[in-house]
Structure 1
Amino acid sequence: MEITGIFSGLIVGIVIGALGRLVIPGRQRIPIWLTIVIGLVAALIGTAIATVLGVADTSGVDWIELGIQVALAALGVSLTAGTYGKRRT
């Protein structure tokens, strides 16, 4: 794996995780590194789902794929914030 692939993955994880956090109302008490991990996982799973649905390769921006990824990230952030907050108290 090249260094550019690692940086690209981190940037995608940050963006998808941040968008997932913005979709959820209120404050989430989870660390930023966990948001990045959730974003990376959501991006990978969202791409796989979009590929199965046949909407992964379109001309221009893949809005449906991005929507799937952000929805998965929002779900992941919501579930993690609920369990992470209870564990810390």
Structure 2
Amino acid sequence: MGWLWAIIVGFVLGLIAKAIIPGKQHSPLWLTTIFGMLGAIVGNAVARAAGVEATSGIDWWRHLFQLIAAIIIVAVGDMAYMALWGNKKMRQRA
């Protein structure tokens, strides 16, 4: 069940990050989900380091750290995706 939640959270975080980042991102949905999962992991680590890993009620700070990490990872990951595969994909469509 842990993997299922990780995939769901990664999917949601990745989509929210894609919606927040200006412009068009070209990375596929499966890669965006992985970026979102990485954002959740990094965000949890930052929350733990900041001492706000577990608070009473909803962990707003942890979720904010996860979202910020996901935004950064999706943006950088999309740039890397385009640098590695973007030109090949664009040539195939033409």
TM-score range, shorter chain: 0.7 to 0.9
Alignment gaps of 5+ in structure 1: none
Equivalent pairs: percent with the same residue? 35
Contact 1:17 1:39 in 2 (8 A): yes
Contact 1:12 1:43 in 2 (8 A): yes
The runs of 4+ residues in structure 1 deviating greater than 2 Å are none
Write the deviation string for residues 15-70 of structure 1: whole angstroms up to 9, x where unpaired. 11112112201110000111111111110111111011111111121111111111
Contact 1:21 1:73 in 2 (8 A): no
Matched length: 86
Query: How far did residue 83 of structure 1 move?
Result: 2.1
Q: 1:63 aligns with which of 32, 48, 60?
A: 60
Aligned residue in 2 for 1:80 = 77
Q: 1:9 aligns with which of 6, 10, 25?
A: 6
Contact 2:38 2:73 in 1 (8 A): no
Distance 2:83 2:48 in 1: 36
Aligned residue in 2 for 1:51 = 48
Q: Under a length normalisation based on structure 1, what TM-score does the superposition of the two structures give?
A: 0.88
